[in-house]
Amino acid sequence: MSHRFEDAINKVFDIVERRLSGEYEVDEFGFDQELTEEVVAPALRPLYRKWFRVEMHGLENVPDKGGALIVGNHSGAIAMDAAMLQLGLLDDHPARRHLRLLGADFVFKTPILGEYARKTGATLACNPDAERLLNAGHLVGVFPEGFKGVGKPVWDRYKLQRFGRGGFVSAALKTGVPIIPVSIVGAEEIYPIIGDIKPLARLLGLPYFPVTPTFPLLGPLGAVPLPSKWHIEFGEPIETTELADHADDPMEIFNLADKVKESIQQTIHQLLEKRGGAFQP
Amino acid sequence: MTGPAVLVTGADRYLGGRLAARLTADDRVARVVTAATDDLLQPAGNGRTRISELLADAQVCTVVHLAIGASASRTGSRGELKERNVIGTMQLLAACQRSPHVRRVVVKSAAAAYGASIRDPAIFTEDTELRAVPRGEYTKDVLDAEGYVRGFSRRRPDVEVTVLRLAPLIGPKADTTMSRYFALPLVPTVLGFDPRVQFLHIDDAVDVLHHATVRPHPEPPERHDRPTVLNVAGPGALPLSQAIRRAGGITLPVPELALSGLTALGSVEFSRDQLDFLRYGRVMDVRRLVDAYGINPLPTPEAFDAVFGAVKEA
């Protein structure tokens, strides 16, 4: 027991020491693997295991190596679903895969948040970056609903919003990687949004200013997420190798994006039925 | 000694001096003519410039233009620098256009040509288009100069034009914008931002410029109506905070507003280019260079250690 504890302490000291002298590596996107695995993941793990009791399904649909584009539904005021999805693939996938997320420019413009996003492997949602990551064999994650998804009110929960221009589809077609739909149930209930203070959002330069039953009413206490029960399910991969010629065909791209959206929505309904109440053990 | 006569502009600077010395020692080059940064703006009377006289007298075949600079503090005011960068390039290209001997032009441009903004992809390739109007003066200079180079290329398709976009230079003896920044006792960064930065070791810069200058012309001669653009950088990147720590410095995160009021700190300038760079960083892809020249620049982390690791131990 005490040995284990000592080892853990030594490891932390070792990491801190090397970080202070600058002896660690990041890739060209700024992804800091050590920081993600040794600092960020342990910090999020209690939320994943104890608070949200996340259950992963269909992990066999995510390949052990090579590029794939994971497309999911987005919800929950802040991008907690992205963080949980990332941790789930790292902890519970047999190949311990790192998910490289694509984020809105708002993320990278914001101090600290932008830095955090880059260090944990995210980059700007744009086709050059997505294609570069996919070509290099990375697992890339995208939430095409964007802020329309995370900022939607609680009465619209689990209703997928518009899927943008489908840029993610053309990135997958150009690089020939499969598209894997992922449905996340549980994130909608962590911060039920009942209002949006638009003037305040504009003043602070935010995409929306969420009002929940507890926030901003209870101040920092209102920032504690509700302990809803989560399910994350990966659907069957949609192969794109034979569609490479259609990468610039808007109709084909729209159809494929719609197919992905439909599949995510279907699975969400099934998961909701399976889960029952949102706050069950 | 056969081969072309080469003109090197900006030979009064460290990089220019090194390249001129290297070319002088190369048997494939008949003669090296050098021009100082200021020579580009000198009129020689009867409507000709000093540069066109140089080109004619030595029958220069290859022009290497290194006199586009970022640092205003060493060259007087910002206005003077712009004059040198933009008007100097224009005068040089005008002289080249009139010269019947010139067959090759190599221009040292900069990674700053990509700007640095929130909407840019994380890694720039030569085909990446600017997504935001650059705010900084230096970036505008670089873009203006590159614009003139493209115009020249259209007007003289018989001349082979290469534009090399260099990452910020570092070297053990080179006094560059970056080396002065990292030498500050407390190194200011923008609070909440840790951009990825990329460098080019000065030895690699000399190698690449040398190769661009002397490599054989294709037979039969090709016609080019646009310049060949190549990114030149040490592959990979360092987070700025890490670079500062490796150089033995201490980071001083400052709110952006406070930094934007600052124009200079000692010998280090804080232009708007610099500020955008300190927030978003700039990383280039160098595969095209490696494929075309067979030169592999030292990766950024190693180049940085080679230069600043030595400083730290000393």
For position A269, what pLDDT does the model report? Answer: 96
Cα of first residue to Cα of last residue in chain A, in angstroms, is: 30
The answer to whether residues B6 and B55 touch, using CB atoms and an 8 Å cutoff, is no
Backbone φ/ψ region at B93: left (φ over 0), alpha (ψ -120 to 50), beta? alpha
Strands of B31-35's sheet in order across: B31-35, B5-9, B60-65, B104-110, B160-166, B228-232
CB B66 within 8 A of CB B85: no
**CATH classification of the domain holding A89:** 3.40.1130.10
The answer to whether the Cβ–Cβ distance between B192 and A119 falls below 8 Å is no
Which residues in chain A have Cβ-Cβ distances shorter than 8 Å to B128?
Answer: 128
Side-chain-side CA neighbours of B210 within 13 Å: the count stands at 21
Residues of B in contact with A116 (CB under 8 A): none
Is B119–A123 a contact, with Cβ atoms under 8 angstroms apart? no
Long-range contacts of A160-167 (CB under 8 A, 24+ apart): A160/A73, A160/A261, A160/A264, A160/A265, A160/A268, A163/A257, A163/A258, A163/A260, A163/A261, A166/A253, A166/A254, A166/A256, A166/A257, A167/A125, A167/A126, A167/A127, A167/A130
How many contacts does A have with B, using Cβ atoms within 8 A? Answer: 76
Query: Which chain B residue's Cα is nearest to A114?
Result: B193
- All residues of chain A having their beta carbon less than 8 Å from the beta carbon of residue B275 are none
Tokens of A77: 């005021």
Whether residue A228 has pLDDT greater than 50? yes
In a domain, A216, yes or no: no
Q: For residue A174, what pLDDT is reported?
A: 94
Looking at the complex, report in whole angstroms how far the Cα of residue A58 sits from the nearest Cα belonging to chain B: 32
Please judge whether B256 and A108 are an interchain contact, meaning their C-beta atoms are less than 8 angstroms apart.
Answer: no
Query: How many domains does chain A fold into?
Result: 1
Share above pLDDT 90 across residues of chain A, in percent, rounded to a whole number: 68
Query: What is the CB neighbour count within 10 angstroms for residue B281?
Result: 22
A40 is a domain residue = no
Provide the greatest CA pair distance for chain B. 59
With beta carbons under 8 A apart, name residues in chain A contacting B199. none
Within a domain: residue A22?
no
Name which residue leads in pLDDT, A190 or B218: A190
Taking chain B (314 residues) in runs of 10, the rounded mean pLDDT of each run is 82 93 94 88 74 90 90 65 88 93 95 88 90 81 94 94 95 81 88 93 97 86 86 96 89 83 68 82 95 96 88 53
User: Would you state the torsion angle of the CA atoms of residues A130, A49, A150, A278, taken in this order, to the nearest 10 degrees?
Assistant: 140
| Interchain pair B122, A28: CB under 8 A | yes
Q: Which chain B residues have a beta carbon less than 8 Å from that of A32?
A: 239
Which residue range forms the structural domain that includes residue A65?
47-190+225-275
Nearest to B122 among A29, A105, A111 (CB): A29
Paired sense of beta strands B264-265 and B268-269, if any: antiparallel
What is the C-alpha to C-alpha distance for residues A268 and A274, in angstroms, rounded to an integer?
10
Q: What is the mean pLDDT of chain A?
A: 92
pLDDT score, position B264: 67
Q: Is residue A256 part of a domain?
A: yes
Domain CATH code at residue B252: 3.40.50.720
Min distance A26 CA to chain B CA atoms (Å): 7
Euclidean distance between CA atoms B311 and B314, whole angstroms: 5
Top residue of B114, B120, B244 to mutate, by most chain A CBs within 10 Å, is B120
**Interface probe with B: pick from A21, A27, A28, most Cβ of B within 10 Å:** A28
pLDDT at position B1, please?
45
In this predicted model, what pLDDT tens digit does every residue of A93-151 receive, in sequence order?
999 999 999 999 899 999 999 999 999 999 999 999 999 999 999 999 999 998 888 88
User: Measured between CB atoms, which of A26, A109, A132 is closest to B239?
Assistant: A26
B62: containing domain: 5-313
Residue B204 phi, psi (nearest 5): -70, -35
Distance from the A131 Cα atom to the nearest Cα atom in chain B, whole angstroms: 11
pLDDT band at A248 (very low <50, low <70, confident <90, very high): confident
Contact between chains at A22 and B190 (C-beta distance less than 8 A): no
Residue in B closest to A32 by C-alpha = B239
Domain count across chain B: 1
For residue range B9-53, what is the model confidence (pLDDT) as tens digits? 999 889 999 999 999 999 999 999 999 888 888 776 666 788 888
Residue (of B180, B110, B175) closest to B139 by Cα position: B110
Interface test with B, best of A113, A118, A127 (most B CBs within 10 A): A118
Residue A111 inside a domain? The answer is yes
pLDDT for res A11: 79
Asked if the structure places residue A27 within a domain, the reply is no
The partner residue sitting opposite A20, judged by closest CB among B118, B245, B301, is B245
Q: Enumerate the residues of chain B whose CB falls inside 8 A of the CB of residue A109.
A: 118
| Segment B184-203, tens digit of pLDDT | 888 989 999 999 999 999 99
Cα-Cα end-to-end distance for chain B:
43
